[in-house]
Amino acid sequence: MEATESLKKMANVVEAAVVMGTESNREMLREMGLLTGEGLTAGPNDIIIAVAAEKDVEHLLEAGRRIVVAGRRPSTRYRLEQALDMGVDIASISIPGKYVGDLASALLERGVNLFIFSDHVPLDVEVKLKRKAYERGLLVMGPEAGTSIVDGYGFGFANVVRRGPVGVVGSAGSGIQEVTTLLDAYGVGVSHALGVGGRDLSEPVGGLMTAEALRRLEKDPQTKVIALVAKHSDEKTVAKVLERAEIRKPLYLSLLGMGRTSVAGFKNIPTLHGLALALCGEVGGEAYERAVHSLEEEVGVLEKAVEKGGELGGFYCGGTLATETAFIWKSLGVEVSSNIGVQWVRRLSDGNRSEGATVVDYGSEDFTEGRPHPIIDPSLRNQRVVSELNSGRSGVVVMDLITGYGAPDNIVEKTVEQLARVRAGRLVVHVVGTPNDPQWGSLEMLGRLPAVRVSSNALAAAFAAASGLGDGKIISMVVDQLVVG
Amino acid sequence: MVLRVGKVLAVGLSIFAESLRRQGLDVVEVDWSPPVEVEKDLEDILDKLM
């Protein structure tokens, strides 16, 4: 991504991209008119340097080659053994998934706790690593851990939130970000937020690290109330973990994609906004009143802004937010097509093509092979938003914009620049962030877009549905059924 | 203590190592590159030779 930006800044360049030659990247280049020449036959192990320029194309391609080669040169880095001799407590791992197993195993043997961002780690490797960690009393956050906040320090994608009494365990990265930022907005802080990876609560992994994280928060004196956020989880595994955890502190549960059922005696809260409200109520003080008041006010404003808009589209960098939107729309009787990998939606045959009301998670493995996570580079998602709205395939599009650590400092500028080409339809944006995030100051630029900004993903999904279906009452209905109560 | 965060080892994307440094953490970045993948044919030849 840095190579692309460097190339774009050079004289005479109209458009440029430096990407791995994966199918999704080649599709992106095709849409940009940059898939020509050798790029047409490139494979996933090739790097494509594509430049459209007013003149000097060959010179610019050579510059691109030099930038790529220079970018591969390490700066001040150490060999693994040297680093381990320095006495590290925790490791942050973000190398391609197929190489994670050996490295992670070696680190566990040296007593190092792990945060593993990488995806594409084989499931059997994850199980082995977590069993090894469990036996040694170590914590493995991930693989596929998007977010953790440990003792106030953010790992992966994390927002700068205030410290406080709420401890979070989550197998849902953007879900952790949504809850912790909403709490921050209501004046409630977080002790720790431990992301355990998207598959931890699956049957084969058995919730090993969810159990370990819950145990640690139960013992932690700073943590007064605990929240468990999960998506795509196996209900029996969740129940087993909760039954064995012996949690005495108040515990609130949000299993995304599930309604108001109960698991092991705990009531499920179907939305992240609902979970934040419940946690505010538990913490006490003015937070709950403040949260409810701001919700009521916003619903009033949004109801007046509803206009009939057409087909629904949800295009996300945060996978948990995509799941939440799909669930809300499905609860309203909308048939949803998606790539989020659950039984209760129609599976999209091609993530790049909408089929009726469509929700796409651009952080899913089919879009991240050979390219950065969309929170780091949302270009592909942003281009989709523009083409959906301008072509009329979607009349109303809802999307997230995630700020904080791990997201580039210019994420807002870049997104606004890319979305400035929207000429039709209705765009609904939910920003996942806090005023202390490095990018917060740039958010006023969003005012340049023809977009409605909404304070939570659940409300954004409700507003989009109300606009798509032309019925303002839908917003209150979603709030009453899935957020409050 | 839930988890001690003193010195952090970072391997992989530089944006994550950088964001940990920005938070004031002591970060030790490890040089990592994928292992050289020896072609199956070459492996077979080496097996025979050794």
Is residue A72 scored above 60 in pLDDT?
Answer: no
For residue A96, what are its two tokens?
């391609």
Higher pLDDT, A242 or A60: A242
Q: What percent of chain A has pLDDT over 70?
A: 98
Q: Kindly state whether B42 is in contact with chain A, defined as any CB-CB distance less than 8 angstroms.
A: no
Q: Are the beta carbons of A192 and B22 separated by less than 8 Å?
A: no
Q: What is the pLDDT of residue A283?
A: 95
Residues A114-134: what's their mean pLDDT? 96
Same fold, A80-285 and A305-483: yes
Nearest to B2 among A91, A117, A151 (CB): A151
* B29: nearest CA partner in chain A: A77
CB contact under 8 A, A117 and B16: yes
Q: Give the residue-averaged pLDDT of A210-221.
A: 96
Q: Domain A80-285's class? A: alpha beta
Q: From start to end of A372-481, where are the E strands?
A: 396-402, 426-432, 451-454
Query: What integer pLDDT is reported at residue B36 of this predicted model?
Result: 66
Mean pLDDT of chain A: 93
Q: How is chain A split into domains, by residue range?
A: 2-71, 80-285, 305-483
Q: Residue A327 has which token pair?
A: 């669930």
**Residue pairs spanning A and B at CB distance below 8 A:** 113
Closest C-alpha among A299, A310, A298 to residue A427: A310
Residue of A386, A318, A384 whose CA lies nearest to A351: A384
* pLDDT range class, residue A242, cuts 50, 70, 90: very high
CATH number for the region A305-483 comes to: 3.40.50.261
Task: For residue A98, count other CB atoms closer than 10 A to its CB.
Answer: 12
* pLDDT at site B43: 63
Residue B41: predicted pLDDT: 58
pTM of the model: 0.87
Per DSSP, the three-state class of A208 is helix
Residues 6+ apart with CB under 8 A from A21: A39, A42, A43, A44, A45, A46, A47, A48, A370
Residue A125 is predicted with a pLDDT of 98
Report which residue type is found at A108. L
Whether the CB of B31 is below 8 Å from some CB of chain A: the reply is: yes
Confidence of residue A4 (pLDDT cuts 50, 70, 90): confident
pLDDT confidence of residue A163: 97
CA distance A229 to A169: 6
Instruction: Please give the share of chain A, as a percent, with pLDDT higher than 90.
Output: 78
Q: Does the structure show a pLDDT above 90 at A470?
A: yes
**Cα-to-chain-centroid distance, residue A358:** 18
Q: Which of B8, B16, B31 sits opposite A88 (nearest CB)?
A: B8
Q: What is the ipTM of this complex?
A: 0.82
CA distance B36 to chain A (A): 12
Q: Per residue in A332-362, pLDDT tens?
A: 999 999 999 999 999 999 999 999 999 999 9
pLDDT in tens, A158-212: 999 999 999 999 999 999 999 999 999 999 999 999 999 999 999 999 999 999 9
pLDDT at A70 over 70: no
* Chain B hits for A99, Cβ within 8 Å: 34-35
Whether B30 sits inside 8 A of A80 (CB atoms) is: yes
Which pLDDT score, from 0 to 100, does residue A159 have?
A: 97
Closest CA to A270 of A316, A326, A319, A310: A326
**B47 vs A174, more confident:** A174
Facing residue for A92 by CB, picked from B1, B8, B31 = B8
Of A75, A99, A112, the CB nearest to B34: A99
pLDDT digits (tens, 9 = 90+) for A413-430: 999 999 999 999 999 999
Q: pLDDT digit string (tens) for A364-384?
A: 988 887 788 999 999 999 999
* Stretch A50-61: mean pLDDT: 86
Inter-chain contact B3–A151, Cβ cutoff 8 Å? yes
Q: Is B36 on the interface with A (CB under 8 A)?
A: no
Worst-scoring range by mean pLDDT, A74-83, A227-236, A371-380? A74-83
Q: Which of A76, A96, A153 sits opposite B34 (nearest CB)?
A: A96
- Interatomic CA distance for residues A219 and A222, integer angstroms: 9
Report the pLDDT value the prediction gives residue A458, as an integer from 0 to 100. Answer: 98
CB contact under 8 A, A154 and B2: no
Predicted pLDDT of residue B1: 74
